[in-house]
Structure 1
Amino acid sequence: MTFIATPQISPSDDREITSNEFWPAISLADFRAVMRLDGTVTNERLEHAVTSSILQINKELSEWRRVQQSDGHSNLAAVRGELINNVNTYVHLYKRAVYCFAKANLVERYNDFDSTAKGTKDSEELNDTTDSFRRDGRIAIRDILGENHVTVELI
């Protein structure tokens, strides 16, 4: 059996990903802590996954953002919402969406290290996890938009 040490993450590795001034910056250190990521995921890979998620979510919420800005809200924290732990609900939801989609992206990319039978079984379990992260991210976006969580179409 071989021991492989997981790289440690230092506080100096904290970077923030910013986008449109309306949206809050995303701290990579906070993302690591909340989503329980160790040093196995490189900072570059983490930044890529978070940036991709921000791009996707900002695109989906672009019309909603324009409406909020036309109503005089300069940023997401200024949109009227409940405060939880002194942070606007919309900020919590936005971060949840970004974190969940980024984590799903990372889980998908890191499941190809082991191609043995055990690796294939683990990969199936990771697909369930990926689907759960995407579902949670989708729910957060729908909550921001004020939409129901379920879409039903009659055939």
Structure 2
Amino acid sequence: MTDLIATVLPDDDAPPAALIVNDGFFPDVDPAAFREQLRVRESVTDPRAREALIAAIMGVGRDLATWSVTQRASGHTRLADVPAPKIDGTSRLELLYRRAVFTLAKAELVERYRDVELTPRGDRKAEDLDPSVSELRRDSLYAIRDMLDVTRVAVELI
């Protein structure tokens, strides 16, 4: 008797997901880069990933709204035009923006679709994912605070 193992292979002929066009100041977002960099599994459909990315773009955009208005008023029409060191040929600010959006989108996917982070054997419990969600949200907040050039921690003595 032979065992049969069925595997779903990705459709190599499928067109890449279209870029999410941003507001002109902030860069467009590539869903394929999001999937690759944050290891988003195939079980997350393209529409689900796109919805999470759009929500993250809106959330990060809200957090950076005042800052971006200031940058635009200074004559910078795109985030790439704002003076910042380049890392591997890309503006540090663009890298931080992408990190903020990607980690916030992944947090939403993990939170809403608990199966996203389950191991293939399915042996992790949903409550084990809570630190992962909070860590992703923290990473997004840190990227935003780094863009704003403010400290990551606020401490008040009572």
**TM-score in terms of structure 2 length:** 0.86
Match of 2:128 in 1: 125
Kept in 2, the 8 Å contact 1:104–1:130? The answer is yes
Q: Could you say what secondary structure the match of 2:145 adopts?
A: helix
- Deviation, 1:154, is 2.8
Runs (4+) of structure 1 moved beyond 6 Å?
none
Kept in 1, the 8 Å contact 2:85–2:92? The answer is yes
Instruction: Give distance in 1, aligned partners of 2:130 and 2:97.
Output: 23
Change (3 A) 1:23 1:6: farther
Q: Bigger radius of gyration, 1 or 2?
A: 2
Match of 1:140 in 2: 143
Match of 1:8 in 2: 10
Q: Could you say what secondary structure the match of 2:15 adopts?
A: helix
Instruction: Give distance in 2, aligned partners of 1:137 and 1:3.
Output: 39
Match of 1:101 in 2: 104
- Deviation, 1:58, is 0.4
Query: Alignment length, in residue pairs?
Result: 151
Q: Does 1:61 align with 2:64?
A: yes
Letter of the 2:27 partner, please give it: P
Match of 1:17 in 2: 20
Change (3 A) 1:9 1:70: farther
Match of 2:54 in 1: 51
Q: Does 1:111 align with 2:111?
A: no
**TM-score in terms of structure 1 length:** 0.88
Kept in 1, the 8 Å contact 2:52–2:109? The answer is yes
Of 101-110 and 121-130, the range deviating more from structure 2: 121-130
Instruction: Give distance in 2, aligned partners of 1:4 and 1:99.
Output: 31
Percent sequence identity over matched residues? 34
Instruction: Give distance in 2, aligned partners of 1:57 and 1:98.
Output: 6
Instruction: Give the gaps of 5 or more residues in structure 2.
Output: 117-121
Which structure dedicates a bigger proportion of its chain to helix?
1
Match of 1:79 in 2: 82
Kept in 2, the 8 Å contact 1:139–1:149? The answer is yes
Instruction: Give the gaps of 5 or more residues in structure 1.
Output: 114-118
